[in-house]
Structure 1
Amino acid sequence: MTTPLQPRNTAMFYFQAWISFATAMTAMGIGIAYLPVSAWVRGFIGLGALFLVTSSFTLAKVIRDRQETETMVNRVDQARLEKLLSDHDVFRPETV
C-alpha cells in the first residue's frame, strides 16, 4: 500500500505568515493607540480586534482538525478496501 505524499509548507511560507501577522497586529495596535477618541472607545476597538484574532485562530484550528479527521477516515476506508480486494482472489477455485 502506498500513501500519497502530503504537500509540505516551506520555511519561507511560515516566515511570511508570521511576518504578515506581526505587521497586521502592530499596525492595528498603532492605529488604535493614535485614534482621536476617548480611552473607552480605544479599549472597545482593541478588545474587538483581540476577539477577531482569537476567533480566527479557533476557526483555522477547527477547519484543520476537520480536514485531518476526513483524511484519516478516508485512509481507513482505503485500507479496508485494499484488504478486501487483496483477500478476494478471482482465480481461486471455489470450494463447495
Structure 2
Amino acid sequence: MDKPLQPVMTAAYFAQCVISFGMAIGSVAVGIVFLPIDPWIRAFLAVAVLYTVTSAFSLAKCVRDRQELVSVSSRVDQARLDKLLAEHDPYKVDNL
C-alpha cells in the first residue's frame, strides 16, 4: 500500500507566514497607537487584539491536534486490518 503524501513545509513558506503575521500585528498596533482616542479605549483595543491573537493560536492548535488524532487512529485501524488479513488463511480447516 502507498503511504499518503505528507505536506512539506519549506523554509520560505515558514518565513512568509512569520513575516505576514508580524506585519498584520504591527499594522494593527500602529493603527491603535495613532487613533485619536482616549488612552483607556486604546488599551481596550490592544487587549482585544491580544485576546483575538491568542484565541486564533489556540484554535489552530486544536484543529491540528484533532487532525493528528484522526490520522493516528486511522493508521492504527489500518495496521489492525493488515494484521488480520496477514493472519487469515482461507484454506485452514478448523478441527471441531
Letter in 2 for 1:10: T
Consecutive unaligned residues of structure 1, counting only runs of 5 or more, are none
- TM-superposed CA distance for 1:79, in Å, is 0.2
RMSD: 1.3
Q: Distance in 1 between matches of 2:25 and 2:80?
A: 47
Larger relative contact order (CA 8 Å, sep ≥ 6): 1
Q: TM-score when scaled to structure 2?
A: 0.92
* Number of equivalent positions: 95
Letter in 2 for 1:46: A
Q: Distance in 1 between matches of 2:44 and 2:31?
A: 13
Corresponding residue of 1:89: 89
Corresponding residue of 2:72: 72
Letter in 2 for 1:94: V
Instruction: State the 4+ residue runs in structure 1 displaced beyond 6 angstroms.
Output: none
Corresponding residue of 1:7: 7
Q: Equivalent pairs: percent with the same residue?
A: 46
Corresponding residue of 2:58: 58
Consecutive unaligned residues of structure 2, counting only runs of 5 or more, are none
Q: Distance in 2 between matches of 1:31 and 1:42?
A: 10
